Amino acid sequence: MINRKAMGKASPIFLILLTLGFFFATYNLVTLVIHNQNQERVKEMIGSTTADPVIQMPEELKKSVGPKRPFHVALTATDAPYSKWQCRIMYYWYKKMKEVEGSDMGGFTRVLHSGNPDNLIDEIPTFVVNPLPSGMDRGYIVLNRPWAFVQWLERAHIEEDYILMAEPDHIFVNPLPNLARGSYPAAFPFFYIKPTDNEKIIRKFYPEENGPVTNVDPIGNSPVIIQKSQLQKIAPTWMNVSLKMKDDPETDKAFGWVLEMYAYAVASALHGVQHILRKDFMIQPPWDLKVGGTFIIHYTYGCDYSLKGELTYGKIGEWRFDKRSHLHGPPPRNLTLPPPGVPESVVTLVKMVNEATANIPGWDDSS
Ligand SMILES: *[C@@H]1O[C@H](CO)[C@@H](O)[C@H](O)[C@H]1NC(C)=O
Ligand SMILES: *[C@@H]1O[C@H](CO)[C@@H](O)[C@H](O)[C@H]1NC(C)=O
């Protein structure tokens, strides 16, 4: 729910965007008509009025609503075997989906925050950054993510104006378009990120003068598609907020393993950035059953089933796929498909893993 005060603040920009969007929809339609009909006659009917505003449109807005808005895929990763095999599968599906109609995917970078190159640098475009100074991550390795983004954004040359923050356990299941709209980034709403239920803690980092707690979106940093210029501002704040949250025992205890997600949500709100929430951004088997028109499969949860195809979550299944079964090396090629009755999302996931591992040279000897 958007609070009325927030709405009041956002609405002029929103209205402008809406108007622009409408204008471009009309403009595209008109262009289409021009292409498909007798050109001269249609041009006369429309006159030259539609062309002028386009020329006068500020450069930045033109880019944000134009048809080609590629985003750079940025994958934060470590050199651990567990991270590596997931990155290889992720990159395989990126390459495949990038070529499919409807994709706005641009370049790809594995932002490797272990400080040293590893044996995948020839297979996957990689940018090496430093981990946090020893001890600073307090044993919570994902605190390295914001720091990795800060370094990468500062040092790398990134061609695209937009960035997708992705993770190794993401598989592109459909060609991903740029879901952001101008300065409104797109994010996936996580049901377990509840800023309004944690108002007291959120207020330690998002003081009242910044606005209502509802300004803090129920999201993490990934998946998010955002303008590079916005992320350049948010990333340092995200890093600071993460460290401050980790340093506060009450916050650390309350947020636990999702602390760095809250930190991103708060940091973006501190910069006045609100996200378009896209539930179709990704699915999380075994909870989501169908792929449909969604874009990413996130295989963070274990999938455990009986041979009758019944979910046995929390209990080791007779059939299972769980990334945590492969902490020390890659899963073998050609995993057994799930028994009949298992949801399409899980079947698709295993088939996609199998396709990737069958086609990645030297799969078995990767570690
Ligand atoms: C992050 O924290 C450091 C140390 O407290 C401070 O110097 C810096 O200005 C902060 N940066 C941002 C972007 O908040
Ligand atoms: C994969 O495994 C199945 C049995 O589970 C087998 O029938 C099939 O031939 C295998 N395919 C490859 C390519 O190894």
Measured distance CA(42)–CA(159) in Å, rounded: 37
Q: Does 94 share its domain with 161?
A: yes
CATH number of 268's domain: 3.90.550
DSSP assignment of 327-349, as one string? SSSPPPSSPPPPPTTS-HHHHHH
* Closest residue to atom 2 of ligand 2, CA basis: 334
Q: What is this structure's pTM?
A: 0.81
Please identify, among 46, 65, 84, the residue that sits at the C-terminal boundary of a domain.
65
Best residue among 240, 245, 247, 266 to mutate for probing ligand 1's pocket (most ligand atoms within 8 Å of CB) is 240
The residue type found at 20 is L
Task: Tell me, using a 6 A CB cutoff, whether residue 336 lines ligand 2.
Answer: yes
Q: Does 189 share its domain with 211?
A: yes
Measured distance CA(309)–CA(318) in Å, rounded: 9
In a domain, 170, yes or no: yes
Asked if 330 contacts 323 with a C-beta cutoff of 8 angstroms, the reply is no
Q: Which ligand is nearest to the CA of 319?
A: 2
Task: State the distance from the centre of ligand 2 to the C-alpha of 337, rounded, in angstroms.
Answer: 10
In a domain, 37, yes or no: yes
Which residue from 145, 268, 281 is spatially nearest to 202, judged by alpha carbons? 268
pLDDT in tens, the chain (367 residues): 444 444 444 444 444 444 444 444 443 433 333 333 333 333 333 333 333 333 334 444 444 455 689 999 999 999 999 999 999 999 999 999 999 999 999 999 999 999 999 999 999 999 999 998 877 767 777 789 999 999 999 999 999 999 999 999 999 999 999 999 999 999 999 999 999 999 999 999 999 999 999 999 999 999 999 999 999 999 999 999 999 999 999 999 999 999 999 999 999 999 999 999 999 999 999 999 999 999 999 999 999 999 999 999 889 999 999 999 999 999 999 999 999 999 999 999 999 999 999 999 999 865 5
Measured distance CA(22)–CA(24) in Å, rounded: 5
Q: Does 109 share its domain with 246?
A: yes
What's the confidence (pLDDT) of residue 364?
82
> What's the number of domains the chain is made of?
3
Task: Tell me, using a 6 A CB cutoff, whether residue 221 lines ligand 1.
Answer: no
Domain residues for the domain of 20 are 4-65
The neighbour count for residue 145, using CB atoms within 10 Å, is 26
Asked if 188 contacts 283 with a C-beta cutoff of 8 angstroms, the reply is no
Measured distance CA(232)–CA(91) in Å, rounded: 24
Task: State the distance from the centre of ligand 1 to the C-alpha of 244, rounded, in angstroms.
Answer: 10
What's the confidence (pLDDT) of residue 196?
96
In a domain, 366, yes or no: no
Q: Does 222 share its domain with 253?
A: yes
Asked if 223 contacts 282 with a C-beta cutoff of 8 angstroms, the reply is yes
Please identify, among 230, 254, 280, the residue that sits at the C-terminal boundary of a domain.
280
Task: State the distance from the centre of ligand 1 to the C-alpha of 205, rounded, in angstroms.
Answer: 13
Q: Does 186 share its domain with 247?
A: yes
Task: Tell me, using a 6 A CB cutoff, whether residue 334 lines ligand 2.
Answer: yes
DSSP letter at 311? B
* Closest residue to atom 9 of ligand 2, CA basis: 334
Q: Does 253 share its domain with 349?
A: no
* Closest residue to atom 1 of ligand 2, CA basis: 334
* Closest residue to atom 4 of ligand 1, CA basis: 240
Please identify, among 280, 311, 332, the residue that sits at the C-terminal boundary of a domain.
280
Task: Tell me, using a 6 A CB cutoff, whether residue 177 lines ligand 1.
Answer: no
Q: Does 52 share its domain with 92?
A: no
* Closest residue to atom 8 of ligand 2, CA basis: 334
Q: Phi/psi zone of residue 309: left (φ > 0), alpha (ψ -120 to 50 degrees), beta?
A: left
Q: Does 139 share its domain with 272?
A: yes
Task: State the distance from the centre of ligand 1 to the C-alpha of 237, rounded, in angstroms.
Answer: 7
DSSP assignment of 171-209, as one string? EE-SPPP---BTTB-EEPPPTT--GGGGHHHHHHHS-GG
3-class state of residue 9 by DSSP:
helix
In a domain, 365, yes or no: no
In a domain, 97, yes or no: yes
Q: Does 274 share its domain with 286?
A: no
* Closest residue to atom 7 of ligand 1, CA basis: 240
* Closest residue to atom 14 of ligand 2, CA basis: 334
Helix axes 4-36, 39-46, angle to 10 degrees: 140
Best residue among 321, 334, 350 to mutate for probing ligand 2's pocket (most ligand atoms within 8 Å of CB) is 334
- Burial degree of 84 (CB within 10 A; 0-12, 13-18, 19+): buried
